Amino acid sequence: MASHPLLIVVLAAGQGVRMRSALPKVLHPIAGRSMLAHALANARAAGAARLAVVVAPAMDAVRAEAQRIAPDIEVFEQVVPSGTANAALSARPALERHRGDVIVLFADTPLLEATSLRALLAALDAGAQIAALGFEAPDATGYGRLLLDAKGRVTAIREHADASEEQRRIGLCNAGAMAFRVVDLAALLARIGNDNAKREYYLTDAVAIAASDGLTTLPVRCTPEEALGVNSREQLAAAEAAWQRRARRRVMEAGATLVAPETVWLAFDTAIGRDVTIEPNVFFGPGVVIEDGAHILANCHVVGARIGGGARVGPFARLRPGAAIGASAHIGNFVEVKNASVEAGAKANHLAYIGDGRVGEGANIGAGTIFCNYDGFNKHFTDVGKGAFVGSNASLVAPVKIGDGAYIGSGSVITSSVEADALALERARQEQRSGWAAKFRAVMGRRKKPL
């Protein structure tokens, strides 16, 4: 392979009109990241030495996303969105400079696996000049069909709109990824015309033109799931569902228990250790790491958080970006943690907001405790020391520091720092009037008018 350095060109300029969206199609997310990001990650994983992306002129957000994922990517503009061949040809300078293999990928096929891209390259090594990824579609509507000759070589790809009734009965469809070992690919693509139903320049027509030059195209098969192309919101949902099924399977294979897998939502980068148990109805956004033996109880929402080994989170907990839950710590129901660490063995079991702070090792945060982190302009830090005990319904007004081992009386509004091992109380002294309630009832009972 070393003699054939790989250039992967990702096509992302299509308008995606059927999405009916202000957001460019390829920026719609699957599992917490854009379809474009999925395509670029696959391209990298397949061993691309160079990456190029084709975007539409007004799509600055698509360009920015491509550069965020792959800073070294070459970006090309397709001036008029006139089909996939025209899009690929928009990367002409890169194609002309390149000596080696080229894969053209679509950015709207987020489930494709790098192994399938490598299989395309293997077909080139086996002697093909072009390799086309195909799949047996349960419902082939909308996909291009691979036309094979008696020897199983691809002679042409016929788009659905241009296919005859008979061709539409072919189940083998174009998944969208094609690999080329062609000396002058730009020249081949430039010969593609737009004499078809959509008046578009179809990349798929490269196959028939190559065949007329005596070049061979071999089909490589992938699963229908991998080939799911997203042209509509319904297909976006189908791709998300398929992606989730695959991710849940992988998580379980790696040794986690999902009690009701179909109700757990994973992000593209969710990292889950062994013997982690996840109860029903849990959502993970990007950036979550869960260490071995942690237990996530039902109905939690977790984004950008680290959960330490043996920790217990939920039910109904919300962990927001920057939450770091230490080993064996407990985060209970209706507790929200944001940009804060709750260190090993610490507990916040009920109804609390822990934002912009630290809860030291073994500390206890009582029910209803609020870290008052925001003054309307800036966020401030709350530091609760190791082994401290914060009584229920306390407000800790940041910036504030509670020393190691200190006690905070229930209901206190703490505005200045508390030294280690001290008791801080901030509330009116309790008053008691003996017999008052009985007298009150007697008086009121006499005065009560009939309803």
The catalytic residue positions are: 350
> Is 224 near ligand UD1 (CB under 6 A)?
no
Q: What share of the chain is helix, strand, coil (3-state, %, to 5)?
A: 25, 30, 45
Q: Which is nearer to ligand UD1, 65 or 361 (CB)?
A: 65
The rounded Cα 171 to chain-centroid distance in angstroms is: 31
| Residue 83 · residue 149 · CB < 8 Å | no
The answer to whether residue 26 forms part of the interface with ligand UD1 (CB under 6 A) is yes
Smallest CA-to-CA distance from 359 within 408, 423, 309 is with: 408
> According to CB under 6 A, which residues from 185 to 204 bind ligand UD1?
202-204
CB of 294 to ligand UD1, least distance (A): 38
Residue 235's alpha-carbon distances to 11, 16, 109, 330, in angstroms, are: 18, 12, 10, 39
Whichever of 39 and 340 has its CB closer to Mg ion, that residue is: 39
Q: Is the peptide bond before 399 cis (omega within 30 degrees of 0)?
A: yes
Query: What is the sign, positive or negative, of the torsion defined by CA atoms of 56, 58, 63, 65?
Result: negative
202 binds, among Mg ion, ligand UD1, none (CB under 5 to 8 A by kind): ligand UD1
| C-alpha to C-alpha distance for 102 and 9, rounded to whole angstroms | 7
Residue 148: beta bridge partners? 154
- Identify which of 222, 10, 6, 230 has the alpha carbon closest to the alpha carbon of residue 116: 222
Report the DSSP beta bridge partners of residue 361: none
The nearest distance, CB 144 to Mg ion, in angstroms, is 10
DSSP labels, 138-197: SS-TTSPEEEE-TTS-EEEEE-GGG--HHHHT--EEEEEEEEE--TTHHHHHHT----ST
- CB environment 87-110: b (16+ within 10 A), e (fewer): bbbbbeebbeebeebbbbbbbbbb
Residue whose CB is less far from ligand UD1, 177 or 402: 177
User: CB of 188: closest distance to Mg ion in angstroms?
Assistant: 22
Tell the smallest beta-carbon distance from residue 156 to ligand UD1 (Å).
11
End-to-end CA distance of the chain: 93
Q: Which does 12 bind (CB under 5 to 8 A by kind): ligand UD1, Mg ion, none?
A: ligand UD1
364 is a site residue for ligand UD1 (CB under 6 A)? no
- Min dist CB 411 to ligand UD1, Å, is 58
Pick the binder of ligand UD1 from 42, 84, 341, 395 (CB under 6 A).
84
Binding segment toward ligand UD1, per CB under 6 A, in 116-124, 169-177, 305-313, 443-451: 169-177
We find the least distance from the C-beta atom of residue 95 to ligand UD1, in angstroms, to be 15
Per partner kind, with CB cut-offs from 5 to 8 A, the member of ligand UD1, Mg ion, none near residue 174 is: ligand UD1
How crowded is residue 244: how many other Cβ atoms within 10 Å of its Cβ?
A: 17
- Say whether residue 231 binds ligand UD1 (CB under 6 A): yes
- Which C-beta is closer to ligand UD1: that of 141 or that of 430? 141
Is residue 12 close enough to count as binding ligand UD1 by CB under 6 A? yes
Token pair of 222, please?
């992938």
Span interacting with Mg ion, options 89-97, 192-200, 203-211, 224-232, rule CB under 5 A = 224-232
Among 173, 348, 354, 384, contact with ligand UD1 (rule: CB under 6 A): 173
- In single-letter form, the type of residue at position 282 comes to V
Q: Is 332 in the site for Mg ion (CB under 5 A)?
A: no
Q: How many residues bind to ligand UD1 according to rule CB under 6 A? A: 30
Residues 6+ apart with CB under 8 A from 236: 19, 28, 30, 230
Does residue 42 interact with ligand UD1 by CB under 6 A? no
Q: Which stretch binds Mg ion (CB under 5 A): 29-37, 222-230, 331-339, 341-349?
A: 222-230
Query: Binding ligand UD1 by CB under 6 A: which of 101, 159, 291, 343?
Result: 159
How far from the centroid of its chain's Cα atoms is residue 88's Cα?
A: 27
Site for ligand UD1 contains 110 (CB under 6 A): no
Residue 370 per-residue DSSP state: E
Residue 143 in contact with ligand UD1, rule: CB under 6 A: yes
What is the pattern of x (binds ligand UD1, CB under 6 A) and - over residues 89-108? -----------------xxx
Of positions 108, 200, 240, 336, contacts Mg ion by CB under 5 A:
108
Binding site for Mg ion (CB under 5 A): 108, 229, 231
Residues interacting with ligand UD1, by CB under 6 A?
11-14, 26, 54, 78, 81-84, 86-87, 106-109, 143-144, 157, 159, 173-176, 202-204, 229, 231
